[in-house]
Structure 1
Amino acid sequence: MSEQTPYEKLGVNEAASFEEIQAAKNRLTQEYSNDVKTVEAIEAAYDSIIMERLKLRQEGRIKVPDRIRFAERQRETPPTPPPLSLDNSPSWLQQFIDTPSSRDLLWPTGIFLGLALLVNFSGTDSSSISVLLALGVFANIYFLNRKENKFGRALLITLAGLFLGVALGWGIGQLLQGANLPGDVSQSFIGMAIFFLFWLSSSFLR
């Protein structure tokens, strides 16, 4: 086949349409599928014809359909985006910060959002608020512990979030004290602050 022109290798004439060239190339590729060298020669002949016709297209002499592609381009796989990582961050920060997937964020978001809403609607019922806070503490410990299997670390982070949440919620209540807010609303600020910190810690801390 080396002495033949690209058209002769595919068994078509120079006036053949793109569909006829494509069909001939596919037919010969299937026929010689067990002969690697012959298949490569067929694809090279096809590419040579396409290159020639693309050149003619640039000169405005013919029109090449957009669906025509080279064999090499058909085998190319699309590049995959690099995964999100903390490789450029300090090593000490990598020990504490986690990069959760959307699935990992789903459960903590749903649970702590639900608990925050329940606290908001519980009113002045201190027993209900205490039960909801206890559920939040256990949930936060569970989500943190399942990442590294370090119960002590999960407990310390949860307690820190609890105390910081109380301080944050109380501080917000003090700032809004002039608005004459009832006591149940102040408790709601504290509860929502705690569950917000629980969500942050369970989602983005190891």
Structure 2
Amino acid sequence: MAAVGESGPSSESDDPYGRLGLSPGASFDEVQAARSRCLAQTEDDPQAKARVEAAYDAVLMARLRDRQQGQVSAAAASASQKEESAASGNPSLPGVSVLQRLRPRLPQSPPSLSGMSPSWSLAEGQGLVVRLVAGAAALLLLLFSPGAGQLVLALGLIGCFLSQIRRGRRPLPSLGWCLLVLGLGLVVGSVLTASLSPTAFSQLNLSLEQVQAVPAALLLWLAALLLA
């Protein structure tokens, strides 16, 4: 099979095969030999070397594209298989740079948003018991210890986060939902404290901080029980 063109390599040819002096049916070894031969003839001319490398890259890309489309001869298909196996087995071989430059340009699949959407289901078994006991203990501490509001909310946030992680949710969505629940609870608590009169706090025997923290603590507890 004739692989090298009869006219020899042409540095001015727009056809990458013609620039390397190859025919489209050249084998992998013949492509490598043509590249080495053309580089040796450039005599340290940077522009000539760049043209040879560009032609070599274009030949590899054209053969890969033709193979994917099923438009190759048996010899070319065999050469393409050898190129791929050589590239995967030895990253220092020529041609790997082509694939490495091509890879960043390939379209990337968009990240899935399924893990961001909420999923509600009641915890079961021992996990349900642990969540119920821990939540009840946190509420009792909040109600009977005036200065424990920040501590209870911090522990509730951590517990809600760990609960979602144990139930299979990814860390970033878990943290986002916990912060959202905490923020919503604090807003509700602020509205509640603003609507209550000073005498109401005395009757409830609760401080301003306790009343503001109760809705957030309840919502974090419910999120730990239900958010999966």
TM-score, normalisation: structure 1: 0.47
Give me the TM-score of the superposition, normalised by structure 2: 0.43
- Which fold has the larger relative contact order, with Cα–Cα distance below 8 Å and residues 6 or more apart in sequence? 1
